[in-house]
Amino acid sequence: MPEKIPTVKTKSKEEAEIKHEEIAHVEEPMKRIFEQISANFEKGEYDLMIGIDASGRIPALILFKLASHIYKKSGYPAPMFRFIAGHAPKDGIKEVIGKWNPSKKF
């Protein structure tokens, strides 16, 4: 069964106040993404996670934190985590990623 997202309930939804709007607007999309890939996290299937710097930084960091928690709980080493600039030229990205994780195909 896929891992549930850990939550702490301190206030009802009506009482809760949003402190970081930029995080609040990604909550539902992140839940859907997590539901789709949590089984892969439980099996330790990823050894490298790549986030897009700038607009993708917060969602990538959230997923990496969740993956690290599940990997540790399941007895797997946490995957490596790197960022790529969103405007990086596609020609050089494969070479850069290959240096981060040279033993795997991507």
Q: Which two tokens stand for residue 41?
A: 């996290």
Q: Which two tokens stand for residue 34?
A: 């997590």
Least confident window among 17-21, 69-73, 95-99: 17-21
22 vs 16, residue with greater confidence: 22
- How do the domains of the chain map onto residue ranges? 21-100
74 vs 85, residue with greater confidence: 74
Q: What are phi and psi of 99, to 5 degrees?
A: -70, -30
Which residue, among 97, 33, 35, 44, has the nearest Cα to 67 in the 3D structure? 44
- pLDDT band for 65, please (50, 70, 90 cuts): very high
Reported as a single tens digit per residue, the pLDDT across 19-62 is 677 677 778 888 898 899 889 999 999 888 888 887 788 888 88
pLDDT of residue 28: 85
